[in-house]
Amino acid sequence: MKKILFVFLAVAFLFAIFAPKVFAQEDNETIKEYTRIAGYTPDSPLYGLERAWEKIQLILTTNEEAKIRLELQLAKERLAEAEVMIQKGKPEYVPRLVNEYKEQFNKTWKEIESKYEHCMNMEEERCKRLSPVERCPNMTEDRCLNMTETICKNMSEERCKKWNNLVEKVSNETEKHIYVLEKVLEKVPEQAKSAIQHAIEVSQKGHDKAVEQMKEMRERVQNKGAETEIQEQVEEHIGEIIGNISEHGNASEKMGNMTGHESENKSTPGGPPPEHETLT
């Protein structure tokens, strides 16, 4: 008992010493990452050219998914610029940058939600218009009709995977956004705190929604896996029953043949009957 207590205390002591350093190192890496992507900042004479190039990129990007990824990246850059301005001791630039981040992120997240929901609705309707044979070829028609909602949800999830990937990206990125915003909040003047606090709330709301959608997606995938396993078990059981019936049928046929041969042999003992002589 004393040895267990000693080990527990030793582990707790080591965790207390090294865990803060590990977490601090991860936090520093996050700040360094944002500092690297900042590019030109608002105090640079070339900043206007960089922002103009961003607008040209958005115009030239016609693919929906690529455009939304670019918008997310630009929102992240506004946040990175705010962090660099704090490091340079120029907090007066921060409120405008944070507001631009908030507007860009909010707009982009609404686009992702809209595209995701539109894709899901379109694919579900398309799935429901399929015949049972096309929708679920490995099931009976009655079972397929009973499971239409679940099957079409799973099918739509697969076809809308690119939007799910963006939802996951938002979930991962917003954790870092919130961390950077909280660090910025600690260093800005009092009059700038309300704008940053609101940006944190917007990021947190987007993060929570993204996490919720990912949770629903995983649950559907798990349900799909369970349904597939049950279906395979049922089909295997049906296969066994059919096999038994076939074996029983073959055995009955063999018994019938054997019985027929025995009856024939009994009716003609000693060989075939002699031919009758024709009377003249």
- pLDDT computed for residue 15 by the predictor: 40
Q: Distance between CA 248 and CA 235 in Å, rounded?
A: 20
Q: Mean pLDDT across the chain, nearest whole number?
A: 75
68 neighbors 166 (Cβ within 8 angstroms): yes
- pLDDT computed for residue 55 by the predictor: 95
Listed residue (243, 30, 231) closest to 136, CA to CA: 231
Tens digits of residue pLDDT in 7-19: 444 444 434 443 3
pLDDT band, very low/low/confident/very high, at 98 (cuts 50, 70, 90): very high
- pLDDT computed for residue 46 by the predictor: 95
Tens digits of residue pLDDT in 171-193: 888 888 999 899 888 888 888 88
Give the C-alpha distances (Å, rounded to integers) separating 199 from 29, 144, 193, 196: 22, 47, 10, 5
Give the C-alpha distances (Å, rounded to integers) separating 243 from 232, 238, 239, 255, 257: 16, 9, 6, 18, 21
Name the residue ranges covered by the structural domains of the chain. Answer: 29-229
